[in-house]
Structure 1
């Protein structure tokens, strides 16, 4: 009998991001410090009323995901009519899962000795909402057809159906933390033998790409120029679009089959803030620290062994200091140390349901390549975050992360509105 390690290997990954059609382009953009934020002309704005577009606080900027209207329907067994009804999120996530399995060297279709679980999350279906069918509950067949084509309840089941996978197929919704919660749940199911292989991921795509937004003073959305997490000039976040998925196996199985392993998940923690905060949408340092501490405990390491944290990093004046306080509480202050903080939202905006696993892919690749990508447009730390005295730093150029006598470790955080917090601890393969 193979010895159980209690750890999970990341053996495959795939994703689509603004100006990045795959993970290789994504990594190249991160290392280059790219920020594919676009400025929209008045004529380019899609469906924005003149009264809003001409408002002095309207920000005509955003991140665009190319090719959301494209789909190889025949390859996945859909008719053209069926494909046209599907939410682009459903189509793109199905393709992303196929590519992640391909990257892992795993054929679709389960056998009697393999059960593959699917753990997935999506944003609200804006495509269906903007294409009213006229169907009502009085016409249940037409109404159900529309719901099946776009409701996020069916995201995981659609992947399991089209790829012939027989493990748990669970669509998970915890707002912004959804896909990292999905990955944490997949870890638990793999360790308890609820499945033998798992796909975990999420997708967040708006059907209208060039929209911009009306910014309110003291609101959560950024001033022109995008998201600047942990910077003194941080003013908020900005929506992004993307899809991301990873393929996971028990480490002993991956080693036995000589899989290519990007990184190893050694700890996972989930928590909720409860009532320990000022309001339903507010974050809580105590709740976030609890999730981080749980992941560290499962990994069997101390906070001093974490060399890099891919943060939730919203870039909001309130959210960043609270997240930083949680990191100090959970990982401890280490004056003189060099622990790096990253925030994917600085590059690609907030991909909502896809954000957590996108951050997981970034952290896994940092371990895989021994390199921490730069944090773009960072000038000076938020004065409410006393970073350097606690040993935390933000690198503005690519920084080598060489192997040493002890394994390298990274943390990945994702926190959802409503208070569901997720954190994973990774170690080098």
Structure 2
């Protein structure tokens, strides 16, 4: 059945089946054995996803994607997220997810043909270079230290970035740099002699293709047509990407939380302690109940925010506010669910032979990237208090 003719529930169900049959068997190599998600494996999985009609839930139909709206994505990405590498397999993982959305909104026709089309089809990977070593930009984009100087025929970029996800092996990088009058986004081909990808930073999570890298721009010349959008409007454009990207993370990680919840429930039903199944102990039941509450609440928030984005646009104030609330709650709810799953597993829960142990470790960064919980709470409070000042 062609992907375009399938309803979102059908696609979600097919995604669950695809992940269970094609992704789970290789997941342990990545999650437990420490193998990097290389491009050979990525292409294999994405080829299988395409054959199953579940590839490209975030990509436009014009580029071979499923063309789902945000509400439809919610159930599909939760299904994909039941494996740490499921979102990669279906083409819905960071940073490509946000870059596809950004390019679809901002790219000129030639830029779309050169960058968006192969990215949306899964033929290449991309990265986005924003975060910088101290004292450069982190959560505060106003601290941006990378600069782009106007020169004859284009721009010359200088600066250092880190935590540039996917940079090792990417086809291009979207570089965010300070320019006269504001911040600007530039499309930089990875073979540009002024761009150097350094080491993969040794982070807790291991599943991102291309790792999280240090990147430097040294007299990196790009032509005028490398500007994405308009000069000086980079931070404004970042909002186009931000709310959908935050929500995509929430959808994917919620899928992993639901899987860990099921795994731990199955374990305690089949394990006995003090003469009865662990599942009959009240304390264990409390953990199960709290996990169920967190998952149902998180799912409702995701769908509510998806509705706001679909109806009011990703750059609306309502979408930004809703995405901040959802990302804060879901990132912490996922952490609570995974932590309880480890607890219910008992001693084996902290053994890295068990998937739940790696799930917990890999999920820790979710409370930091795309906006730390503390920064998001600050921005949420500011918006709320604005009406009372």
Interval of TM-score (by shorter of Structure 1 and Structure 2): under 0.3
Q: Comparing both structures, which one devotes a greater share of its residues to helix?
A: 2
TM-score, normalising length: structure 2: 0.28
TM-score, normalising length: structure 1: 0.26
